[in-house]
Amino acid sequence: MPQNSGPPRILIAGLGNLLLMDDGVGVHAIQELQKNPPPGVVVAEVGTAVLNALHLLEWADKVLAIDAMEAGGAPGTVYAFGTKDVAQGGIKASLHELNFLAVLDFLKVKVKPEILIFGVEPARIDYGLELTPAVAEALPELTAAAREQVRRWRGE
């Protein structure tokens, strides 16, 4: 149930560390989305400072979080799952997702936002600013999926 009577307030949050290659895929995705952001959507680089985004999580009705995630697929595989999937231990989540989920306990709203997480299987997490080729190739698919999710949430 939305917290307001208008269209849903949507946040796309990019998680991860840009200094650790594929771990920064969420932030790289946000940088791509910010070039032509979906209208009326807050597109935010959260990085590893999840608590700093608390005000955005409290504002939003719907949240799409994007991060690297090890789930056993080939590097560059894009996953979509809900918070319950991570909480039940079915997914080996990254440190950021666990912090992200823990932050939800701090929300001071009666109705918590609906949250969907897009994860990307990393090829390498090591010092470096560039994504590996497999993860870089997944970026267009990832950003297209984010735009499609926004359309679904809006009922388009």
Whether residue 4 is contained in a domain is answered as: no
Whether residue 48 is contained in a domain is answered as: yes
pLDDT in the model for residue 21:
97
- β partners of residue 119: 67, 79
Q: Give Cα 6 to chain centroid, integer Å.
A: 23
Whether residue 145 is contained in a domain is answered as: yes
Whether residue 123 is contained in a domain is answered as: yes
pLDDT in the model for residue 52:
86
- Domain with residue 119: its CATH number is 3.40.50.1450
Supply the pTM of this predicted model.
Answer: 0.86
Whether residue 144 is contained in a domain is answered as: yes
The beta-strand segments (E) located in 3-123 are: 10-15, 41-47, 62-68, 78-82, 114-120
Domain span at residue 100 reads: 11-154
Q: Give Cα 32 to chain centroid, integer Å.
A: 13
Digits of tens for pLDDT over the chain (156 positions)?
444 678 899 999 999 999 999 999 999 999 999 999 999 999 999 998 888 888 998 999 999 999 999 889 999 999 998 877 655 554 444 444 446 666 666 667 667 789 999 999 999 999 999 999 999 999 999 999 999 999 999 998
Amino acid at 78: V
